[in-house]
């Protein structure tokens, strides 16, 4: 913990520059949004949009920050009267700091399950939003279905105090359906395809696991009163590092244990099918759209896929931050080829308008952001299908050979096959999978194992060669010749 300087709080806010204090919402602002998963991203992105929206159009849109697991963020926020700072760090090193007061309440869901359900059910709550990471949805990325054999989901459905995000959401919805019952909008803000529709399906499946007498009334109420909107979010917000906390103390003279740092760029496209009122997010840069899919394809297949590839190949090449990865000439050349020949064309085919590669490179290469490659490369089973496998499969279906995307996917497999001591800690949830993979002798067998977990690698009609075959070949090359030689050659 950073001890130099008093801790940020309502009382200590007088120490902040006047301009920062003026941007804070009024102290009496009431809660209108419950957010599950108030990690670094939510605090830098949706919370800032919401604070600015309340300044543009006053309203009770305070956020109740609900930590689905753990409670460190709740403890940090409560110790600061829920105030914290966001630093937008430009590529030239210039910082723009703001104080954020959009979070008005907090709940540690595991310790206070009743408070969470009550917050979702409260009449003043009109929106529940989520950023619980890909793994938080507990779904099978191949089918979009809730993992039926997941013991945590089964235990939540059997009636314990819920520990999964879907279980916590449904418990709150159930309480709302039995009390106030006013319409509610659920917004998923995680990097998943059709995240609103996906979550709607998971909620539906979860409800069907409840005792039979509870299912029908709840499903009927949800169908009539709850809207699930898909959203596409974009802003690079790395995990806060100790140096970031020190920098806040240096700049402001107050300690902030909930501080976050991100890039200046920020965008948010939200499917426009709310069940009730919403903050004036559109007056401060967010966009409401009938269909977010073109934006989603660009986000997942161009921006996220480039980040995932840079992360996996970067780690194999021995670098550790995104800026270092895209700063390497060989890797940058490879990424440019992948982007222009395979990723961007697949997004354009889906109606998207990808940014130019150089424009993206400026964002990813920001030398003042410590975006750790290990953070981006983790949870690959939940990320690669929509980022790299889907565009690769599309190319194969149309008779093209997505050589570069296959190498990108292979680099993730290679990383998991690298002995534990020699690779950064990745995928703690799937260490067992990584061990199984590492034990396999041949690239083909390894890819067969991945095929079982990521069915998109196999062609729908069973036709060969498919994406998996391309990945097996690229994996063999990586294992035999090493990442450096393969990347150099593939970049042309």
Ligand X SMILES: O=P(O)(O)OC[C@@H](O)[C@@H](O)[C@H](O)[C@H](O)CO
Ligand Y SMILES: NC(=O)c1ccc[n+]([C@@H]2O[C@H](COP(=O)([O-])OP(=O)(O)OC[C@H]3O[C@@H](n4cnc5c(N)ncnc54)[C@H](O)[C@@H]3O)[C@@H](O)[C@H]2O)c1
User: Of ligand Y, ligand X, none, which one sits near residue 135, judging by CB under 5 to 8 A according to partner kind?
Assistant: ligand Y
Kindly report the CA angle at 243 between 303 and 266, in degrees rounded to 5?
30
The number of angstroms, rounded, from the C-alpha of 212 to the middle of its chain's C-alpha atoms is 34
Smallest distance from ligand Y to CB 416, Å: 19
Q: How far apart are CA 436 and CA 310, in angstroms?
A: 25
Binding test (CB under 6 A) with ligand X, winner from 229, 376, 405, 406: 376
Looking only at residues 424 through 443 of this chain, which bind ligand Y when binding is defined by CB under 6 A?
Answer: none
Q: Which of 50, 185, 191, 205 binds ligand Y (CB under 6 A)?
A: 191
Residue 174 CB, nearest approach to ligand X (Å): 29
Under the binding rule (CB under 6 A), the answer on residue 66 touching ligand Y is no
By the 8 A CB rule, do 101 and 82 touch?
yes
Alpha-carbon torsion 229, 230, 232, 237, what sign?
Answer: positive
307 contacts ligand X (rule: CB under 6 A): yes
3-state helix, strand, coil in the chain (%, to 5): 55, 15, 35
The 150-179 site mask, x for binding ligand X (CB under 6 A), equals ------------------------------
Choose between 29 and 379: whose C-beta lies nearer to ligand Y: 379
Q: Which of 383, 446, 359, 435 lies closest to 410 in space, CA to CA?
A: 446
172, 174, 165, 254: which is closest to 210 by C-alpha?
Answer: 174
Buried b (16+ CB within 10 A) or exposed e, 145-180: ebbeebeebeebbeeebbbbbbbbbbbbbbbbbeee
Piece of the chain touching ligand Y by CB under 6 A; list 27-35, 68-76, 396-404, 443-451: 68-76
196 contacts ligand Y (rule: CB under 6 A): no
40 sits near ligand X (criterion: CB under 6 A): no
Site string (263-292) toward ligand X, x via CB under 6 A: ------------------------------
Interface with ligand X, residue 364, by CB under 6 A:
no
Nearer of residues 142 and 239 to ligand X, judged by Cβ? 239
292 binding ligand Y? (CB under 6 A): no
**Cβ burial 270-291 (10 Å sphere, 16+ → b, else e):** bbeebbeebbbbbebebebbee
Least distance in angstroms from the C-beta of 95 to ligand X = 19
DSSP label of 355: P
| Number of residues engaging ligand X in binding (CB under 6 A) | 8
Report the candidate in 260, 213, 212, 218 with the shortest Cα–Cα distance to residue 237. Answer: 260
Question: Does position 191 bind ligand X by CB under 6 A?
Answer: yes
- Tokens 């314990």 label which residue? 160
Q: How far is the CB of 108 from ligand Y (least distance, A)?
A: 10
* 321 sits near ligand X (criterion: CB under 6 A): no
Q: How far is the CB of 50 from ligand X (least distance, A)?
A: 18
Q: Are 119 and 36 in contact (CB under 8 A)?
A: no
The Cβ-side half-sphere exposure at 138, using a 13 Å CA radius, reads 20
The span from the CA of 406 to the CA of 468, in Å, is 8
Q: Judged by CB, which is closer to ligand Y: 42, or 417?
A: 42
* Residue 2 to residue 274: CA distance in whole angstroms: 41
Residue whose CB is less far from ligand X, 31 or 346: 346
- Return d(Cα 313, Cα 318) in angstroms, integer: 9
Contact between 38 and ligand Y (CB under 6 A)? yes
CA dihedral 341, 409, 238, 285 (to 10 degrees): 40
Give least dist CB 134 to ligand X, A.
6
Helix axis angle, 467-481 relative to 403-417, nearest 10°?
Answer: 60
Which partner from the list ligand X, ligand Y, none does 307 bind, CB cut-off 5 to 8 Å by kind? ligand X
Binding flags for ligand Y, 204-243, as an x/- string (CB under 6 A): -----------------------------x-xxx-x----
Find all residues with CB under 8 Å of 237, minimum gap 6, and list them. 40, 41, 44, 45, 260, 261, 262, 263
Among 39, 59, 391, 402, binds ligand Y (CB under 6 A): 39
Pick from 80, 129, 175, 235 the residue near ligand X by CB under 6 A.
235
Does position 234 interact with ligand X (CB under 6 A)? The reply is yes
Among 304, 366, 418, 430, contact with ligand X (rule: CB under 6 A): 304
Question: Taking phi first (over 0 means left), then psi (-120 to 50 degrees means alpha), and beta for anything else, what does residue 25 get?
Answer: beta
Of 68, 218, 347, 404, which lies in the binding site for ligand Y, with binding defined by CB under 6 A?
68
Which tokens go with 281?
């997010």
Contact characters 102-131, ligand Y, x per CB under 6 A: -----------------------------x
Q: CB under 5 to 8 A by kind: which of ligand Y, ligand X, none does 479 bind?
A: none
- If the CB atoms of residues 221 and 433 are measured against ligand Y, the closer one turns out to be 433
Tell me the window of 47-55, 213-221, 233-241, 273-281 that interacts with ligand X (CB under 6 A): 233-241
Site for ligand Y in 129-168 (CB under 6 A): 131-136, 165
Residues forming contacts to ligand Y in the complex (CB under 6 A) are 37-42, 67-70, 131-136, 165, 190-191, 233, 235-237, 239
Residues forming contacts to ligand X in the complex (CB under 6 A) are 191, 234-236, 303-304, 307, 376
């Amino acid at each position: 913990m950073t001890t130099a300087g008093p801790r940020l709080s309502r009382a200590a806010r007088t120490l902040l520059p006047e301009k920062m204090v003026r941007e804070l919402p009024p102290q009496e602002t009431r809660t209108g949004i419950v957010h599950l998963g108030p990690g670094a991203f939510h605090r830098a992105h949706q919370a800032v949009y919401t604070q600015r929206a309340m300044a543009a159009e006053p309203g009770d849109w305070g956020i109740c920050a609900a930590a689905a697991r753990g409670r460190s963020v709740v403890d940090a926020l409560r110790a600061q009267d829920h105030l914290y700072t966001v630093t937008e760090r430009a590529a030239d090193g210039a910082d723009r700091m703001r104080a954020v007061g959009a979070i008005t309440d907090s709940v540690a869901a595991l310790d206070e399950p009743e408070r969470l359900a009550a917050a979702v059910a409260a009449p003043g709550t009109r929106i529940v939003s989520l950023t619980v990471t890909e793994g938080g949805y507990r779904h099978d990325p191949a089918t979009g279905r809730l993992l039926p054999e997941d013991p945590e989901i089964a235990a939540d459905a059997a009636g314990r105090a819920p520990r999964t995000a879907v279980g916590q959401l449904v418990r709150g919805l159930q309480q709302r359906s039995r009390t106030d019952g006013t319409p509610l909008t659920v917004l998923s803000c995680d990097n998943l395809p059709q995240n609103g529709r996906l979550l709607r399906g998971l909620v539906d499946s979860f409800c069907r696991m409840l005792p039979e007498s509870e299912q029908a009334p709840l499903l009927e109420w949800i169908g009539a009163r709850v809207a699930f909107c898909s959203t596409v979010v974009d802003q690079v917000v790395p995990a806060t590092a100790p140096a970031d906390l020190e920098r806040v103390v240096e700049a402001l003279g107050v300690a902030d244990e909930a501080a976050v740092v991100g890039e200046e760029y920020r965008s948010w496209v939200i499917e426009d099918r709310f069940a009730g009122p919403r903050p004036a997010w559109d007056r401060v840069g967010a966009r409401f759209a009938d269909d977010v899919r073109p934006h989603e394809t660009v986000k997942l297949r161009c921006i996220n896929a480039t980040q995932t590839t840079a992360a996996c190949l970067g780690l194999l090449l021995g670098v550790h931050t995104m800026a270092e990865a895209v700063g390497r000439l060989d890797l940058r050349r490879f990424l440019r080829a992948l982007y222009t020949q395979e990723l961007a064309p697949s997004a354009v085919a889906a109606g998207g308008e990808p940014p130019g590669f150089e424009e993206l490179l400026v964002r990813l290469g920001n030398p003042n952001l410590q975006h750790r490659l290990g953070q981006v490369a983790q949870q690959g089973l939940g990320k690669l299908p929509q980022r790299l496998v889907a565009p690769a499969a599309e190319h194969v279906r149309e008779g093209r050979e997505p050589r570069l995307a296959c190498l990108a996917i292979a680099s993730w497999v290679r990383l998991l096959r690298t002995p534990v001591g020699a690779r950064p800690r990745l995928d703690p949830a799937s260490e067992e999978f990584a061990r199984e993979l590492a034990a396999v002798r041949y690239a083909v067998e390894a890819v067969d194992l991945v095929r079982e977990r990521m069915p998109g690698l196999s062609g729908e009609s069973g036709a060969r060669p498919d994406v998996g075959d391309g990945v097996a070949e690229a994996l063999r090359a990586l294992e035999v010749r090493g990442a450096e030689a393969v990347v150099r050659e593939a970049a042309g």
